[in-house]
Amino acid sequence: MTKTDEKWLERVRQWKASGRTVEAFADGQPFKASTLKWRAAQLRRAAEGGERHGKGHVVNGSIRLARVVSRARESAPGPGGGVVVEVSGARVSVSRGFDAELFSAVVRALGAVR
């Protein structure tokens, strides 16, 4: 955990212990209520193992990003095409109906290669 994470974790603990709303707690503080809520959610996801689906994938408590290199409508198998994703210099073609667990494992493995 970084020093920044530790600072936000302490702020979240103080907020929860106060029993006040996030807006009331953040009033007069050097941060916004929305930032405190976002950090609390981020820390909670990390504490729960980090796995989540949807926009922005969190894997093992850290945010992993993959760059979409190109749309592969013509060459990707399956209806509706897919995308080509670059992770740590490797290009992976992903089409509709892909196995999300397998893809996550591949991204984790490629991320470890850095």
User: For position 68, what pLDDT does the model report?
Assistant: 59
Which carries the bigger pLDDT value, residue 94 or residue 65?
Answer: 94
- Assigned domain for 36 exists: yes
pTM above 0.75, yes or no: no
Q: Show the domain range for 16.
A: 3-50
- Assigned domain for 58 exists: no
pLDDT band for 74, please (50, 70, 90 cuts): very low
Q: What is the mean pLDDT of the chain?
A: 74
Query: Residue 103 class from Cβ within 10 Å (0-12 exposed, 13-18 middle, 19+ buried)?
Result: middle
Total domains in the chain come to 2
Joined together, the tokens standing for residue 45 give 């996801």
**pLDDT tens-digit series, residues 3-55:** 988 899 999 999 999 999 999 999 999 999 999 999 998 888 877 765 444 44
- Assigned domain for 87 exists: yes
DSSP for 49-68, written as a single string: TS---SSSEEETTEEE--EE
| Mean pLDDT score, 69-78 | 50
- Assigned domain for 55 exists: no
